[in-house]
Chains A and B, each alone.
Chain A
């Protein structure tokens, strides 16, 4: 006799928990744009400007992390058959801590308010700690052992390392007594962007790209090896910093390691684009286009990285570091997330309305299809705004005077995204109310 009681295939978390936060998250993109406009073009002089560091945290924690938390809570029961333990409470708590902590930390960094940085930082660390712990429990309980759960597990651990390094850096920033070596910041960035963001996107891609776009499957061996290799290289680079490695050897390890990371990122983007070119669904909906933009941006980011290596002085400095960051975060991460939101939110609205209809046996209740949840015209307009903002952002890095129009476009794009997602929520409420009047 086999025990199936722990295997849950229909534990969808309550609709409200992820949806509200996902709809609010793009507003952090608007906040980021607003802060950048207030800081003015001179902030573009260096990635080390305190204003830039603060603004970047608003975007990466407020937007990227919040949506990824929500998306993972939806995905874990499906791809791993294992929901986040105590999902309703832990997710609400981790979302709330993050939505409160992020603006405090981000604005605190911009304005140099040690108290805000400390309080915001503690809230953010609490949220990340709670999320990573519960996600890891869910993943450990899972019986699925595919490349997706593997990449997700490593991504979550990478997030934990990122948070620990971030906490250490914030402590140094606040003058708690330890120094602030620059390479710690580089490690914090590498674990956060290449470990957490890129591995989670890859893990999700193995599922959603073949699934929604009907492409061939990702080739098995690269999909199996990608995440462990990225993770192992990050670990080696970190150990090189922590252990007394001779400078000459450290240099060789660094060059080889970062070169391999760049190749792995380019490989993932290249394979994804190649699969998409062979998709069976010929209609390119907005999600496919957002994925396209994301993968092309990732390839462009790798190209910029190679150019930087060929420049005299070698190192991530000046405007080039910001070009790389913009391509990776706004071009790659934000595009992919934006595209996924247009699948996740309409489907969840449909799913929950449909479940309501089934449970209440109210078959007269009309459930809108996915295209009716968010009007397609507005999602297409938002796609164009996002693309325009992306290009304008790159242009502004060459001509800083264009920062304001670029950030206005970025704010408009994210404002409209949030509006579109709230339209989905309104559609849900309206359908529920209509169903109550038909039954009542």
Chain B
């Protein structure tokens, strides 16, 4: 059976790859590919964030009895990522290569550092404390579409 760690880590990688492909398209000056690439990236990313915000984090908060701990920090970082995604969309729509690449670099770094915290600490912890309810939780996570 899927662990929380395995599933969400794989989900991270898929979003990472979408962003890397978007970056390549823009560096190549292929704006059509960039438009498609951004749509796909944005969709996958938003789905991942919602999987965490609406399902995983509340489950963690229920067992820990607090919405203030690490999940609160993660939510805040999600909002920062959404703001950067908006910046990318605006710069891309203006066909501004330098700015788009600069913001992509920033978002990529932000995402990576955020992912490390989740993959090293939060997911292993979630797997330990949510063991009994994991089956049902993961079924809902997989079914979620934004």
Residues of A within 8 A of B (CB): 1-5, 7-10, 78-81, 143-144, 146, 207, 211-212, 214, 280-283, 285, 343, 347, 350-351, 354, 358, 369-372
Counting chain B residues whose Cβ lies within 8 A of the other chain, the interface size class is 35 or more
Q: Hey, which bits of chain B sit against chain A, CB under 8 A?
A: 16-17, 20-21, 23-24, 27, 63-66, 69-70, 73-74, 76-77, 80, 87, 98-99, 101-103, 105-106, 108-110, 112-113, 115-117, 120-122, 124-125, 129
B17 proximity list for chain A (CB < 8 A): 214, 280
**Contact A282 B27, beta carbon cutoff 8 Å:** yes
Report Cα–Cα, A280/B112, bound state, in Å. 14
Selected from B24, B64, B77, B102, the residue in CB contact (under 8 A) with A283 is: B24
CB within 8 A of B120: which of A8, A79, A369, A371?
Answer: A79
Is B16 touching A371 in the complex (CB atoms < 8 A)?
no
Q: Establish whether residues A283 and B116, one from each chain, have CB atoms under 8 Å apart when the complex forms.
A: no
Main secondary structure of the interface of A (DSSP, over half): loop
Instruction: Tell me what chain B mostly uses at the interface: helix, strand, loop, or mixed.
Output: helix
Is the CB–CB distance between B112 and A211 below 8 Å?
A: yes
**Residues on A with beta carbons closer than 8 Å to the beta carbon of B24:** 281-283
Contacts of B87 in A (CB 8 A): 369
A280 cross-chain contacts in B, Cβ below 8 A:
16-17, 20-21
Measured between beta carbons, the chain A residues less than 8 angstroms from B115 are 211
The smallest C-beta distance from B17 to any residue of chain A, in angstroms, reads 6
Contact at B16–A347, with CB atoms within 8 Å?
no
Neighbouring A residues of B64 by C-beta, 8 Å: 1-4
Q: Which of chain A's residues have a CB closer than 8 A to the CB of B125?
A: 2, 7, 143
For the complex with contacts A212-B112, A372-B102, 6 further pairs of A-B residues with Cβ separation under 8 Å are: A1-B63, A4-B66, A7-B121, A10-B73, A143-B124, A369-B102
CB of B91, distance to nearest CB on chain A (Å): 9
Q: How far is the CA of A280 from the CA of B108 in the complex (A)?
A: 13
Beta-carbon contact of A9 and B63 below 8 Å: no
Residue pair B69, A5 in contact (C-beta under 8 Å): yes
Would you give the shortest CB distance from A337 to chain B, in whole angstroms?
A: 17
Please state if A371 and B116 are interface contacts (CB–CB under 8 Å). Answer: no
In the bound assembly, the distance between CA atoms of A280 and B69 in angstroms comes to 34
- A78 pairs with B113, CB closer than 8 A: yes
Question: Chain B residues near A281 (CB, 8 Å)?
Answer: 20, 23-24
- B66, B105, B112: the one contacting A369 at CB < 8 Å is B105
B120 touches A212 (CB 8 A): no
Given contacts A7-B70, A9-B117, contact A212 B109 (CB under 8 A): yes
6 closest Cβ contacts across the A-B interface?
A: A371-B102, A369-B102, A4-B69, A211-B112, A10-B73, A81-B121
How distant is the Cα of A280 from the Cα of B41 in the complex, in angstroms? 15
Picked from A5, A8, A370, the residue with its CB within 8 Å of the CB of B106 is: A370
A9 and B74 contact, Cβ closer than 8 Å, known pairs A214-B20, A280-B16: yes
